[in-house]
Amino acid sequence: DQQVKQNSPSLSVQEGRISILNCDYTNSMFDYFLWYKKYPAEGPTFLISISSIKDKNEDGRFTVFLNKSAKHLSLHIVPSQPGDSAVYFCAASGFGANNLFFGTGTRLTVIP
């Protein structure tokens, strides 16, 4: 049973516009959320995270929003660049746990 869901397998955006990637989770014990970025033939690389005590975290062009009541988080990329084209994974964990639960990923294509 998938505890972290990314319902959009793919997303295409024009260069310079905003990319919004969405993620839903079902486990109310999750208190830490991360986004990873993955290029083909490479391992995932950490992008940005957010703790459940916050509802927003920003790092340059990347902002993650957390809506705990809706069990939903989103990643905003502004402005989108062709180099952002990759698969983005949402991940979540609970306090003291050693496991990260990953979503299925969203493939972002930024069109020049």
Partner 1 sequence: NAGVTQTPKFRVLKTGQSMTLLCAQDMNHEYMYWYRQDPGMGLRLIHYSVGEGTTAKGEVPDGYNVSRLKKQNFLLGLESAAPSQTSVYFCASSRRQVTRRPEAFFGQGTRLTVV
* Residues lying near partner 1 in the complex (CB under 8 A): 2, 4, 6, 32, 34, 41-46, 49, 89, 91, 93-94, 96-105
Residue of 33, 27, 29 lying closest to 3 (CA atoms): 27
Q: Which is nearer to partner 1, 85 or 106 (CB)?
A: 106
Q: How far apart are CA 109 and CA 41, in angstroms?
A: 17
Closest CA to 67 of 36, 100, 22: 22
**Contact of 74 with 81, CB cutoff 8 Å:** no
Q: Is the Cβ of residue 41 or residue 70 nearer to partner 1 in the bound state?
A: 41
Instruction: Give the nearest distance from C-beta 52 to partner 1 in angstroms.
Output: 13
* Closer by beta carbon to partner 1, 14 or else 45: 45
CB of 51 to partner 1, least distance (A): 10
